[in-house]
């Protein structure tokens, strides 16, 4: 095998045969071998991607309540969804390392706060037990003094009993006051640590939910859309409410990139997301599916209302073109709207909306089509 590769490399170095020169017999064979090797490596890579994807999905299923784990798996899932190259691998490794570092810091502080809280509670219990012991002894002493008082025959004995009661009462009062002060201080510490625990838990949740957002537009990414879809379809099924879905694709986006550069293309995507956020209702969930494709989940909305909202977005986008380097770049999009059917999976909903979208493209662009 090594000899064959060596011969092929020498042939490449020598260049193609000149007119009238015989073709080296090993060239065609060696090229075919290398092509088979490349094809096999490609199959192995795709197989590994699918295997890792299944592993990530299974880990998420096994630990549905561990949001921190989902945060670590998301960069890997996003990487596995498309073709791989060294730049993507490096970026994914950096993103994963950043998520792990943030989560590790939050989890470490959270664990410390919980341990400290347990120690304070243990101290509280000990102190309460001490107060109980002190009052128990006081009751015993009172019983003794009562017996002495019943047997007293002179004022000297009565005076000693009264003095003893006053002394014991003072000691108990001091002990109770000390315990009260300690309990109040412990209560303040408990409240402070409870607040710290809540803040750290929120931080940990925030770090995990960051992976549900598209880093460029800050709209939901595919993972965020999947989670939102599960929640909204459950709500729609529970209350027998309608749920509309719209998918849009920027028109002539390649022309924007070719004419103004990729930075302008990114600005166009951000501009669209900002106009969508300003135009749509707060309950309308906006997601970027990838490239120049976006989607919107309309809660408690029928298909005609979704089309009307999308057309209103088109008018607003026409009124607010993209301003880039002292130029005004008009941005339009085509869209497909569809009504969710009970039990329908997100993939099927996207397929139907995508078909309507490309119907709008074929009909002349910058329009909205309804899926049957």
What's the rounded mean pLDDT across residues 61-66?
50
pLDDT-derived band at 12, boundaries 50, 70, 90:
very low
Catalytic residues: 292
Give yes or no for residue 79 having a pLDDT over 60: no
Contact 76, 100 (CB under 8 A): no
Q: Which residue has the higher pLDDT, 32 or 267?
A: 267
Q: What is the pLDDT of residue 372?
A: 84
Give yes or no for residue 4 having a pLDDT over 90: no
Pure H helices in 210-302: 222-239, 253-260, 262-279
Of 353, 347, 358, 346, the residue nearest 372 (C-alpha)? 353
What's the rounded mean pLDDT across residues 81-91?
60
Distance CA 34, CA 6 (A): 12
Of 18-27, 94-103, 286-295, 312-321, least confident by mean pLDDT is 18-27
**Other CB atoms within 10 A of residue 311 CB:** 14
The SS3 assignment for 286 reads strand
Give yes or no for residue 242 having a pLDDT over 70: yes
Q: What is the pLDDT of residue 366?
A: 97
Of 14-28, 108-122, 175-189, 338-352, least confident by mean pLDDT is 14-28
Q: What is the pLDDT of residue 141?
A: 62
What's the rounded mean pLDDT across residues 46-75?
57
Q: What is the pLDDT of residue 32?
A: 73
Architecture of domain 222-370: 2-Layer Sandwich (3.30)
What's the rounded mean pLDDT across residues 64-75?
54
Give yes or no for residue 5 having a pLDDT over 60: no
Distance CA 236, CA 257 (A): 40
If you average pLDDT over every residue of the chain, what do you get? 75
pLDDT-derived band at 7, boundaries 50, 70, 90:
very low
What's the rounded mean pLDDT across residues 266-283?
95
What's the rounded mean pLDDT across residues 200-217?
67
Distance CA 321, CA 341 (A): 36
Q: How far is CA 342 from CA 28, 229, 234, 243, 283, in A?
A: 57, 12, 10, 10, 20
Q: Domain locations in the chain?
A: 2-62, 107-211, 222-370
Q: What is the pLDDT of residue 212?
A: 77
What's the rounded mean pLDDT across residues 300-313?
96
Distance CA 370, CA 336 (A): 6
pLDDT-derived band at 14, boundaries 50, 70, 90:
very low
Contact 313, 275 (CB under 8 A): yes
Cite the beta strand spans of the chain per DSSP E. 243-250, 285-290, 293-299, 322-324, 327-329, 333-339, 368-370
**DSSP tag of 211:** G
Q: What is the pLDDT of residue 162?
A: 62
The structure's pTM equals 0.50
Give yes or no for residue 19 having a pLDDT over 50: no
Contact 299, 339 (CB under 8 A): no
Q: What is the pLDDT of residue 214?
A: 87
Give yes or no for residue 327 having a pLDDT over 50: yes
């Amino acid at each position: 095998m090594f000899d064959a590769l060596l011969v092929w490399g020498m042939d490449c170095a020598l260049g193609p045969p000149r007119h009238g020169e015989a073709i080296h017999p090993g060239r065609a064979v060696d090229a075919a071998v290398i092509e088979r090797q490349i094809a096999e490596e490609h199959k192995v890579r795709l197989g590994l991607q699918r295997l890792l994807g299944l592993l990530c999905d299974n880990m998420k299923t096994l630990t549905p309540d561990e949001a921190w784990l989902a945060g670590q798996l998301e960069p890997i899932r996003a990487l596995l969804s498309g073709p791989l190259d060294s730049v993507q691998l490096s970026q994914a490794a950096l993103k994963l390392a950043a998520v792990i570092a943030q989560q590790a810091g939050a989890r470490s502080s959270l664990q410390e706060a919980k341990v400290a809280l347990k120690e304070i509670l243990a101290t509280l219990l000990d102190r309460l037990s001490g107060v109980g012991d002190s009052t128990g002894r006081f009751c015993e002493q009172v019983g003794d003094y009562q017996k002495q008082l019943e047997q007293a025959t002179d004022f000297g004995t009565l005076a000693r009993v009264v003095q003893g009661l006053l002394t014991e009462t003072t000691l108990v009062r001091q002990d109770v006051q000390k315990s009260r002060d300690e309990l109040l201080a412990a209560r303040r510490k408990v409240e402070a640590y409870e607040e710290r625990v809540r803040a750290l838990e929120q931080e940990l949740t925030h770090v995990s939910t960051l992976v549900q957002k598209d880093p460029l537009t800050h709209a939901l990414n595919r993972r965020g859309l999947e989670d939102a879809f599960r929640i909204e379809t459950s709500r729609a099924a529970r209350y027998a409410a309608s749920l509309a879905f719209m998918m849009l694709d920027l028109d002539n986006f390649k022309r924007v990139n070719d004419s103004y550069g990729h930075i302008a293309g990114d600005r166009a995507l951000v501009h669209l997301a900002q106009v969508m956020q300003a135009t749509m209702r707060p309950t309308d969930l906006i997601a970027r599916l990838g490239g120049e494709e976006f989607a919107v989940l309309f809660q408690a909305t029928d298909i005609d209302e979704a089309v009307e909202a999308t057309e209103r977005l088109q008018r607003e986008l026409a009124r607010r073109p993209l301003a880039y380097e002292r130029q005004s770049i008009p941005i339009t999009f085509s869209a497909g709207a569809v009504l969710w059917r009970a039990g329908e999976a997100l993939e099927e909903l996207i397929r139907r909306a995508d078909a309507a979208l490309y119907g709008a493209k074929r009909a002349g662009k910058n329009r909205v089509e309804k899926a049957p």
